Amino acid sequence: MLDTTDFNILFEKFRNQKILVIGDVMIDTYLWGNVARVSPEAPVPIVSGVIEENRLGGAANVALNIRAMGAVPILCSVIGEDHRGQLFLELLEEQNLSDLGLVMDEERVTTQKTRVISGNQHLLRVDEEMDIFISEEVQNTFLGLITDLLESGGIDAMVMQDYDKGVLAPDLIAQLIDRAEKVSVPVLVDPKFRSFQLYKKVDLFKPNYKELKQGLNLDLKKNDTKKLSEAVLKFQKEQEIDTFLVTLSEQGILTSKDGSYVHLPAVERDIADVSGAGDTVISLAALCLIAGLEAPEIAAISNLAGGQVCEKAGVVPVDAEKLLAECNHHFKSS
């Protein structure tokens, strides 16, 4: 159990693990400013002194979290051959992340989410995107690229990060899982609604509460652990999923494996922004899975990491040094 775990040794195991991160990427743009008055034109705040900041988002944030823990992410996605696509490549270069797994598609636009924030108050978000599935031609190119990466060897896990923007097309999902299975690479999935039912025979499946409700089309209460667990166990058996994690924000996290479940409470935090917490959870889950941890241990560490990034405004990766200290404090003293 975690109360006897040497977290220095565990975190050292995370280092240099090579993980494919496949899914929808985006640019998270922040307009930071101050609000001092209301517009005379309409009852809306006027934001002044604006500073613009661009960050890597979506599956790219998963890559940043994995890299923050000392592991090696290989980001695989499809972006537009547009000005935002060029900006995305520049941000990758700034973060020293490889573009080896990227495909550029002149028929697509690169997703950008622009948030207007004053202090820690989120005032507005503007999304520029397209969510149709990538074409069959692009799917074939993308699948060939990922197949080559998997067959080259040395890949320790594959994370499928689905934001419903069209990269993880239905046929592609099954083919990717099949390719990973053939080379014995574990597959972890962070799903969205549209393809929720298509992920089968994966090693770890991590929806949040909203995704679980909509994905299963069930009216489930977040604090009704019994009904949640029953729904999870049923779906898990049908889909042949090995390990299931459901993040429940203030209600903690639920994990199930081998027909039984464990519910872990949330760690008390000063929450500033929940954006990107799911990216952090799936990243730590992948590293913990590779390290051989059991489902409750994976859930506990991932939940702690996901909570940590909620203390800062905007999408940020986990702080490995702080997480190490928190693991030692939380699990050794509990």
The model's confidence at residue 4, banded by pLDDT at 50, 70 and 90, is confident
Other beta carbons within 10 angstroms of residue 53's beta carbon come to 12
Strand partners, 255: 245, 262
Strand partners, 188: 159, 204
Contact, 26 vs 57, CB < 8 A?
yes
Distances (CA, A) of 311 to 6, 252, 270, 271: 26, 16, 6, 5
Q: Can you give the pTM of this predicted structure?
A: 0.94
pLDDT digits (tens, 9 = 90+) for 38-63: 999 999 999 998 999 999 999 999 99
Is 333's pLDDT higher than 70? no
Short-list 113, 91, 88, 114, CA closest to 103: 88
pLDDT digits (tens, 9 = 90+) for 262-321: 999 888 777 666 777 889 999 999 999 999 999 999 999 999 999 888 888 778 889 999
Six token digits for residue 292? 């051989």
Q: What ranges in 101-168 are assigned the alpha helix state H?
A: 136-151
Contact, 59 vs 190, CB < 8 A?
no
pLDDT at 334: 54
For the segment 102-130, the average pLDDT, to the nearest whole number, is 93
Instruction: Tell me which residues are annotated as active site.
Output: 279
Is 106's pLDDT higher than 80? yes
Contact, 84 vs 50, CB < 8 A?
no
HSE-up of residue 145 (Cα within 13 Å, Cβ side): 21
Of the chain, the percentage scoring pLDDT greater than 90 comes to: 82
The per-residue pLDDT of the chain, averaged, comes to 93
Domains recognised in the chain with CATH numbers: 2-26+56-89+96-101+131-333 (3.40.1190.20)
Short-list 276, 277, 275, 264, CA closest to 330: 264
User: Which of these ranges, 75-84, 161-170, 242-251, 313-322, has the smallest mean pLDDT?
Assistant: 313-322
Non-local CB neighbours of 152 within 8 Å, separated by 6+ positions: none
Contact, 277 vs 307, CB < 8 A?
yes
The model's confidence at residue 202, banded by pLDDT at 50, 70 and 90, is very high
Choice between 251 and 243, residue whose per-residue pLDDT is larger: 243
Q: From CA 247, how far away is CA 56, in angstroms rounded?
A: 23
Residues 267, 272, 277: CA angle, nearest 5 degrees: 60
Of the chain, the percentage scoring pLDDT greater than 70 comes to: 99
Helix (H), strand (E), coil (C) string for 241-252 = CCEEEEECHHHC
pLDDT at 250: 86
Contact, 300 vs 334, CB < 8 A?
no
